[in-house]
Amino acid sequence: MQTADLFADPAEDRSGDIQSRMQALRIQLHQYAHQYYVQDAPTVPDAEYDRLFQELQSLEQAHPQWLTSDSPTLRVGAKPLEAFAPVRHAVPMLSIRTETDTESSGAQAFDARVRRELELSDADAPVEYVAELKFDGLAMNLRYEGGVLVQAATRGDGETGEDVTQNVRTIGQIPLKLSAPNLPDVLEVRGEVYMRRDDFDALNERQRARIAAGAKGEKTFVNPRNAAAGAVRQLDPGIAAQRPLSFFAYGAGEISPQEAVGVFGSHMELLQTLKKWGFPVAAQVDIAQGATELVAYHQRIGAMRDQLPFDIDGVVYKVNSLALQQRLGFVTREPRWAVAHKYPAQEQLTTVLSIDVQVGRTGKLTPVAKLAPVFVGGVTVTNATLHNEDEARRKDVRVGDTVIVRRAGDVIPEVVSVVLDRRQGEPAAFQMPHSCPVCGSVAVREEGEADYRCSGGLFCSAQRKQAILHFAQRRAVEVEGLGDKLVEQMVDAGIVRTLPDLYRLGLTALAVLDRMADKSAQNLLEALQKSKQTTLPRFLFGLGIRHVGEATAKALAQHFGKLDAIMDASEDHLLAVSDVGPIVAKSIRTFFDQTHNREVVEQLRACGLSWEEGEPADKAPQVLAGKTFVLTGTFPTLSRDQAKDLLEAAGAKVAGSVSKKTSYVVAGTDAGSKLDKARELGVAVLDEAAMLEMLASNQ
């Protein structure tokens, strides 16, 4: 069967052969389930599986005569791996119904069904539920006999799972022995093995390092669920022990003797008891009275979903009373008393239409996949980041590919992986450009960095706003009153394209801007005029040369004395500066090798910007070299910047926090926690006068 036919809308099935369509869906769903549960290598997002599953369910309901005993809708999971011993569950690990209506009406519909089954009227009290998180991990059954963990088994197909005891023993959150009083002889605790997001990220970092080092057979993982399942199914427990797994308990299986079950009147009592016995239970479990509180819980958890340290794809509602659960019973193999209420899918399938390269405000070049529109994470997505050249190559995303796209909350959508079995032919691999696609300047990738960056910061239109704001900030040339909103307006209105345009502004040009009164315009023009008198270090810092901060700019100015000498210096000459290493030297050289950057500098000079220049400073050792100072409080005659300049000119380092390595703290009035820290550590404390005396005595 052709792929196009398999994924066609059944209403548009050209053959009209519904029975064949149902068989095709069964085959495809079995394949996806095998990849997901057995191979731990999913090729499509959950939303795609759910869509096909629901289509098959609808067809079977409409045509029950064609329902077969091997239908995925009659099964809970997948067959166990042959590599592990089979475990037949004493109490089946059944699945619960999924409510795919992600709106409030999904919770309301479940409550309405429960009330209808219980024959409750509007006058009756609300049904009490337990609301829980729907974890995205691997379901697990833990069997304790005499309080000792004797077996851990996966869900498998619901009737028979896999014995993974040795691997589960490596999970620190799972107790190996229970010491609570009055324990049942047999206790089966059910829950989810999962991997935290930070642990998952750290694991993939280690995997990438191994791959880079030439390790064979290593791979990175698609998502935390995939990584957790793969760890549990490691044949070597030593390898499993290296994978950071976690566990949450959410229910029970067999409890013996049967009388022991009577101690629990509700599901919440069961969870609280499991917590007392030493099992981790998610803090977000809550009681909900009726549909209104179910809706509130769904909305509250949805709002915090992206801040949780682990993945969830929905919440679960369970009738709290165990007596009512028994009364409600099951339909087919699903309990009537529980439902999983999903959130909008965070992963979906779509097609890559093209791959563009965008230039950010700081010059970073980012490959971006242009996508066929797809609804994911609650919005329609048409672009997804590929992050950088290494990521684009690692994922091997090509134009025409079918890809899994993920969007979580406000996070920028990203391509997770390519569905390789849907690739048509051999499309060309992505190649990162080595020049800026906006201005044509050289794009540089420095050693040890993942990103390419445009070197034309003063010229590139993509970086205009950032370049102007950096140039005008207090520590650079300082144009008082020139902030984000005003720069945004001037650039968007087209009256400022490069830095020299600032100094060509007049009242007429400024009058077109919103809320720019004559007085405000005049103040800005005066601030621009004042900023023309600056210093060489401030001007250098204001140019925004990558890696050239305030300290480096001061070191360059002191070493060379003149801007032209810096602009013409070779990398070797630049390396002679105390604060300049190979990366910084190359960055400076690359910046001034761009003709348009030099032109901007010359135009700024022509607009009247000036500073004192002189001969290179003496190379005598600086008297405060090796000393670290921290400034705190308000000084009588000096600003913090002035004090910092004096200390750095004498070779001192000025730090922002106090530590054992601090030589002196210079404290003014209203000194706060830094002064307290200095006294606590026994660091010498100076006032402004003592600092000036020290500087004078060392001249």
Q: Which of 199, 209, 208 is nearest to 231 (CA)?
A: 199
Half-sphere exposure of 165 (CA within 13 A, CB side): 12
pLDDT in tens, 641-671: 888 878 877 778 888 889 999 999 999 988 8
Looking at per-residue confidence, does 695 or 184 come out higher? 184
Cβ neighbours around 118 below 10 Å, total: 15
d(CA 195, CA 179): 27
**Structural domains of the chain in order of their starting residue, each with its CATH number:** 3-74 (1.10.287.610), 97-342 (3.30.470.30), 347-422 (2.40.50.140), 455-619 (1.10.150.20), 628-697 (3.40.50.10190)
SS3 track for 383-441: EEECCCHHHHHHHCCCCCCEEEEECCCCCCCEEEEECHHHCCCCCCCCCCCCECCCCCC
**First and final C-alpha spacing in the chain:** 88
d(CA 598, CA 614): 21
Cβ neighbours around 607 below 10 Å, total: 16
Q: Is 134 a catalytic residue?
A: yes
Q: Which of 338, 402, 410, 349 is nearest to 379 (CA)?
A: 410
Supply the DSSP string of 205-219, one letter for each residue: HHHHHHHHTT-TT--
Q: Which of 79, 134, 364, 530 is catalytic?
A: 134
What residues pair up with 288 in beta bridges, in sequence order?
A: 129
Instruction: Kindly indicate the confidence band of residue 321, based on its pLDDT and cuts at 50, 70 and 90.
Output: very high
Answering whether pTM is above 0.75, one says: no
Whether the per-residue pLDDT at 171 is higher than 60: the answer is: yes
pLDDT in tens, 564-597: 999 999 999 999 887 788 889 999 999 999 898 9
Contacts of 306 (CB under 8 A, 6+ apart): 408, 409, 410, 411
> Of all helices (H) and strands (E), which one includes residue 569?
none
Burial of 415 (0-12, 13-18, 19+ CB in 10 A): buried
d(CA 443, CA 437): 9
> Would you say 580 and 574 are in contact if contact means Cβ atoms under 8 Å apart?
yes
- What confidence score (pLDDT) does residue 2 get? 37
d(CA 624, CA 626): 6
- What confidence score (pLDDT) does residue 477 get? 95
Whether the per-residue pLDDT at 157 is higher than 60: the answer is: yes
- What confidence score (pLDDT) does residue 601 get? 95
Q: Which of 612, 611, 570 is nearest to 588 (CA)?
A: 570
